[in-house]
Structure 1
Amino acid sequence: MKIGVDEAGRGAVIGPLVVCAFASVSQSDLKRLGVKDSKDLSKKRRKELYEILIEMPHKVVICLPDRIDNSSNLNTLEVELFAESLSVMPEGHIMLDACDVDAERFAKNVSEISGRECRAEHKADENHLEVGAASIIAKVTRDNYVEDLSSTLGIDLGSGYPSDPKTKLAVKELIKGRLPHDCLRWSWKTVSDAMGTTPPPRPNSPQQTLF
């Protein structure tokens, strides 16, 4: 059994950070399906593969903006989230898409918290089918979340990333209340720049600017 773990939404200013652990029962099946890094697939194909892959063993962890803002360090938070995603995974060889510049350190930290032996590589989603599958589930889960949020709010949130023009416009709308909207990551520089000041901290937030 091969288990891959990847994330989606690390750098977004709107919406959650999503981590997925995926257990590959058959590498040949994943290859036949055309599984690869989610970034190399069209939105339509990602959704098609998502519907197939979610029927296979996996675990999704959705980390909302308040937890991100209350974290002292994004790398430390991702170690925790990767470990959480492994909590119900079967025994197997674990490969992580490294979120730290030091892949070996990232694997060591996740291993210590999860109690599982892990390996990590940069671009693991490109080089390991099980990590590619995890990246697809994480990406589509996050995209669906943001699309649902757009419908609920009646605002086109775009992708939720700071470089997206639609997201930039949405952020300006989402800071108009007494406090920034809960779907925003208040500690992101994008939010403070849009407000022209540092937003108040969320409860128990260390209030550091992460991005």
Structure 2
Amino acid sequence: MKAIYTIKEIKERLLHIKDETDPFLIKVRKDERKGVQTLIRSWEKKREKEREAIKEFEQMKQYEQSLWEQGYQWIGGVDEVGRGPLAGPVVASCVILPKNFYLPGLTDSKKLSKEKREMFYDMIKGNATAVGVGICSAAEIDQFNIYEATKIAMQRAIEETKVNVDYLLLDAINLPISTPQTPLIKGDSKSISIAASSVIAKVTRDRYMEGLGEKYPEYGFENHMGYGTSEHLTALHTHGVVEQEHRQSFSPVKAVVSSS
């Protein structure tokens, strides 16, 4: 093929092509320049990832689809973030999505980059039928234990949606409430509603911990989000416990408290 377009022009036009039958794509496939063939391969890989994301999204929508077909309207996906850290709250979210919600690539928040989580957070907040967030503080975790505090945070998140949730999809937990529910092992990779709630909970908690990082810069909360990293443990032993933020019932924190 005689070169009609520059490689830069081809690169720009490929950004907007989604269909393999596009006349321009068919034409440039015949361009034997190495740079053009590299661009074509890159486009093909990107399209394959997009197809996989669409397929995964449709698979993850099956639980919601089945429940909609059974007549349920307000299906809440529930997940939490922050069971394991030594500091900060446990945060839960309940998200109810409309039937036409479409966000390929949505999955367990831990599998997403920070940039993508932030982007998805805005898209979920802007398109969800309802979003609720529930928080249980470090002091409440010490009072009730982390498992019970997690359930309390989840119930608060459900109540915060301000709607009459008629079915719950939860990430591997049962709640002591009358609402029909299904716990799913690794639910944030199996249900779009749970995945959406995991994104909301993760971004909410991360922002909280980043705020603590600004308030207590010596602890580096914005780096470890309260988990027991070497940086955090060193700061804990050097500067002591942050009242109301460190979980004093957790062993590493308890040891510092008892030795002070």
TM-score bin (small chain) = 0.7 to 0.9
Greater RCO structure (CA 8 Å; 6+ sep): 1
TM-score, length-scaled by structure 1: 0.77
SS of corresponding position for 2:258: coil
Which residue does the alignment assign to 2:84? Answer: 11
Gaps of 5+ in 2: 1-72
Residues of 2 paired with 1:142 and 1:38: CA distance? 12
Q: Which has the higher helix share?
A: 2
Alpha-carbon offset, residue 81 of structure 1: 2.3
Which residue does the alignment assign to 1:142? Answer: 205
Which residue does the alignment assign to 1:165? Answer: 230
Deviations 1:21-44 (A, max 9, x none): 0001136513x3x21100110111
Residues of 1 paired with 2:111 and 2:100: CA distance? 19
Gaps of 5+ in 1: 99-105, 200-211
SS of corresponding position for 2:102: helix
Query: Could you tell me which amino acid in structure 2 is paired with residue 126 of structure 1?
Result: S
Which residue does the alignment assign to 1:209? Answer: none
| Count of aligned residue pairs for this structure pair | 180
RMSD between superposed Cα atoms in Å: 2.1
Q: Does 1:152 align with 2:223?
A: no
Alpha-carbon offset, residue 116 of structure 1: 1.2
Which residue does the alignment assign to 1:97? Answer: 171
Which residue does the alignment assign to 2:189? Answer: 126
SS of corresponding position for 1:168: helix
Q: Does 1:188 align with 2:259?
A: no
Quick check: 2:166–2:179 contact (8 Å CA) kept in 1? no
Residues of 2 paired with 1:184 and 1:196: CA distance? 10
Match of 1:83 among 155, 158, 162: 155
Structure having the higher Rg: 2
Residues of 1 paired with 2:165 and 2:204: CA distance? 25
Residues of 2 paired with 1:53 and 1:86: CA distance? 16
Alpha-carbon offset, residue 68 of structure 1: 0.7
Percentage identity across aligned positions? Answer: 28
Which residue does the alignment assign to 2:96? Answer: 23
Which residue does the alignment assign to 2:123? Answer: 52
- The runs of at least 4 aligned residues of structure 1 exceeding 4 Å deviation read none
TM-score, length-scaled by structure 2: 0.63
Deviations 1:174-195 (A, max 9, x none): 416xxx53210011101123x2
Match of 2:110 among 30, 39, 47: 39
